[in-house]
Amino acid sequence: MNPSLKLVPLLLFAMTVTANCQNSNEITDPEKTEIWEPQPPVVEPGHYSTEPPPDATILFDGTSLDHWEKLNGGDVEWELGDGYMTVKPGTGDIRTRQDFRDVQLHVEWRAPEVIEGEGQGRGNSGIFLQERYEVQVLDNWENPTYSNGMNGSIYKQHIPLANPAKRPGEWQSYKIYYKAPRFDDNGDVKRPARFTVVLNGILIQNNVEVFGRTVYIGAPEYDAHGPAGIRLQDHGDLVSFRNIWVRELDSELMDTQGIWRDPPGEDE
């Protein structure tokens, strides 16, 4: 054999290792997508209503976990307290049995009164729309972290406009207005998802565009999907939830918004 040919497998091996290393450098470092500046201003919470409108679907009224299941379909193992549920660490995320598209969603939550951990390790949970796009839940009372991962961020995509955090142990209120992404027949994004979010009566996300499925490492991407559940995160912290309700929005009507339509003429 030509001696130089003997080197070919070695060379291929070296190229593979180099490629893998380059790849892993790109994708294994979560800090590459953490943005610390600017930090949103701390503001006082505002006033807000928590009452479900008459046409809302009640997803959790504090008495039963019937509307929820584990991601693999089994029964939820989170603790059901007196009017609330609490993450049972290690039992996994949960999601609604019902699937949704465009929604108006109300969720109340609280971080444990006894502070444990710091940064992302303190009162961390999350509300995922269509099981993919996370509105971060985090105890950000005097607890700095990267601002695109703080409470009210669209995790690692959009920094919230303000930090109206309440103290640990106090109930906080999310109002989430969500427009699902639209995909064409090839599975390509026709229109990305959008969020408007109000936390404790304060606007913190204003009709922001979602760049893809929430990821901890690397850049977000879309995968085409249909209606899907609302998912709550088990991040290992004893975060509690109560009073969860949703209004399904009329997707056909939503698709007419932002499009000018000529009104019918007199003879039509």
Q: Which residue's CB comes closest to Mg ion?
A: 126
- The tally of CA atoms less than 13 A away on the side-chain side of residue 146 is 15
**Residue with smaller CB distance to Mg ion, 123 or 181:** 123
Q: What does the binding site for Mg ion look like in residue numbers (CB under 5 A)? A: 124, 126, 233, 235
Shortest distance, position 224 Cβ to Mg ion, whole Å: 24
Nearest of 174, 176, 232, 178 to residue 199 by alpha carbon: 174
Shortest distance, position 149 Cβ to Mg ion, whole Å: 8
Distant-in-sequence, close-in-space partners of 3: CB < 8 Å, separation ≥ 6: none
**Residue with smaller CB distance to Mg ion, 70 or 191:** 70
**Residue with smaller CB distance to Mg ion, 19 or 71:** 71
Shortest distance, position 2 Cβ to Mg ion, whole Å: 57
**Residue with smaller CB distance to Mg ion, 137 or 258:** 137
Distances from the Cα of 78 to the Cα of 89, 161, 168, 199, angstroms: 8, 32, 20, 24
The DSSP H or E segment spanning 248 is strand 240-248
6: helix, strand or coil:
helix
How far is it, in rounded angstroms, from Cα 33 to Cα 36?
10
Shortest distance, position 235 Cβ to Mg ion, whole Å: 5
Shortest distance, position 125 Cβ to Mg ion, whole Å: 6
**Residue with smaller CB distance to Mg ion, 125 or 224:** 125
Cβ atoms within 10 Å, residue 115: 16
